[in-house]
C-alpha cells in the first residue's frame, strides 16, 4: 500500500532530486533580474527620501530638547539634583518620542537598578556598585 502513495520521478526518488517538469532555473533568473532592476531614481524615491524624512523628525526633537535642557540649566544655574532630574526628563521624552511604548524595557531596568542601589545602600553599606552591576546584568540576561 505504501508503494502506491510514493511519488514517481522516473527513477528511484531521492529527497534531494528536483521534480521533473518544473523550471527552477527560469525562476532563479527572474529573481536575479528583479533584485538588480531598481534604478537610482527608485532608490532615491523609495529609500533615501523616507529615511531622511523619518530621521529628521527625530533629529529635530532631539535638538529641541537638548536646547531646552541647555537653556534651563545654563541660564538659571539650578542645584545638581535638579540638573540630573532635567536631564533624565528630557532624555525620557526624547526616548519616548523615538521608541514609544518599547522604552518600557529601559524604564524597568532603571527601576530595578535604582531599587537595588537603594536597598544595597541601606543593607550592605559597602560594595554597592558590584551588587548593583550584577543585578542589572542579571535583569538584562533574564528578560
Per-residue pLDDT 10s for the chain (143 aa) are 455 555 555 555 555 565 665 566 666 666 666 656 678 888 888 889 999 998 898 899 999 999 999 998 998 889 999 999 999 999 999 999 888 888 988 899 999 999 999 998 888 878 888 889 999 999 999 98
* Residue 98 forms part of a structural domain: yes
Specify the pLDDT at position 32: 63
**Burial label, 73 (beta-carbon count in 10 A; 0-12, 13-18, 19+):** middle
Global pTM? 0.55
How many C-beta neighbours within 10 Å does residue 142 have? 6
* Residue 127 forms part of a structural domain: yes
Question: Could you list the residue range(s) of the whole structural domain that residue 119 is in?
Answer: 42-142
* Residue 1 forms part of a structural domain: no
Specify the pLDDT at position 30: 66
* Residue 113 forms part of a structural domain: yes
* Residue 80 forms part of a structural domain: yes
Specify the pLDDT at position 20: 62
* Residue 15 forms part of a structural domain: no
* Residue 25 forms part of a structural domain: no
* Residue 9 forms part of a structural domain: no
Instruction: Give me the number of domains the chain comprises.
Output: 1
Closest among 110, 109, 135, 131 to 120, alpha carbons compared: 131
Grid cell digits, residue 135: 543585578
Amino acid at each position: 500500500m505504501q508503494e502506491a502513495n510514493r511519488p514517481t520521478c522516473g527513477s528511484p526518488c531521492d529527497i534531494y532530486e528536483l521534480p521533473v517538469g518544473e523550471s527552477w532555473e527560469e525562476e532563479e533568473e527572474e529573481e536575479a533580474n528583479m533584485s538588480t532592476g531598481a534604478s537610482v531614481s527608485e532608490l532615491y524615491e523609495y529609500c533615501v527620501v523616507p529615511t531622511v524624512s523619518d530621521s529628521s523628525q527625530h533629529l529635530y526633537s532631539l535638538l529641541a530638547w537638548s536646547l531646552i535642557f541647555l537653556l534651563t540649566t545654563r541660564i538659571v544655574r539650578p542645584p545638581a539634583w535638579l540638573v540630573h532630574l532635567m536631564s533624565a526628563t528630557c532624555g525620557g521624552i526624547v526616548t519616548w518620542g523615538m521608541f514609544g511604548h518599547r522604552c518600557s524595557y529601559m524604564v524597568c531596568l532603571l527601576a530595578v537598578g535604582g531599587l537595588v542601589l537603594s536597598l544595597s545602600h541601606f543593607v550592605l553599606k559597602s560594595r554597592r556598585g558590584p551588587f548593583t552591576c550584577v543585578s542589572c546584568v542579571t535583569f538584562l540576561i533574564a528578560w
